[in-house]
């Protein structure tokens, strides 16, 4: 697989310095930028898929006429939270 280059990135000196100060031992600025790019691509992909699922759910609810009230959802979430709290060891 061939690699490709990204466009040159011009930033303010303060941003470059901040990024350099965050580098881990042995990490290069190029590796840091590549990792940041990969993470942002993954985040946006996940975000796009989340929105698509939400819109599909909305459309399915409109078509079926079946909705769940906010109170019902919050009640179920509260019950799950309480169950999880009861399972965790006391601190």
H/E run at residue 69: none
Cα–Cα distance, 87 to 79 (Å, whole number) = 12
Tens digits of per-residue pLDDT, 34-60? 999 999 999 999 999 999 999 999 999
**What is this structure's pTM?**
0.71
Task: Tell me the domain boundaries of the chain.
Answer: 13-87
Nearest to 16 by CA among 6, 35, 29, 1: 29
Averaged over 62-72, what is the pLDDT?
Answer: 95
- How do residues 3-42 score in pLDDT, each as one tens digit? 999 999 999 999 999 999 999 999 999 999 999 999 999 9
pLDDT band at residue 90 under the 50/70/90 scheme: low
């Amino acid at each position: 697989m061939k690699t490709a280059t990204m466009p040159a990135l011009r930033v303010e000196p303060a941003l470059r310095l901040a990024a350099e100060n965050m580098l881990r031992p042995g990490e290069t600025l190029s590796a840091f930028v590549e990792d940041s790019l990969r993470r942002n691509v993954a985040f946006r992909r996940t975000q796009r898929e989340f929105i698509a699922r939400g819109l599909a759910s909305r459309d399915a609810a409109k078509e079926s006429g079946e909705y769940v009230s906010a109170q019902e959802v919050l009640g179920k979430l509260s019950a799950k939270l309480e169950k999880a709290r009861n399972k965790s060891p006391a601190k």
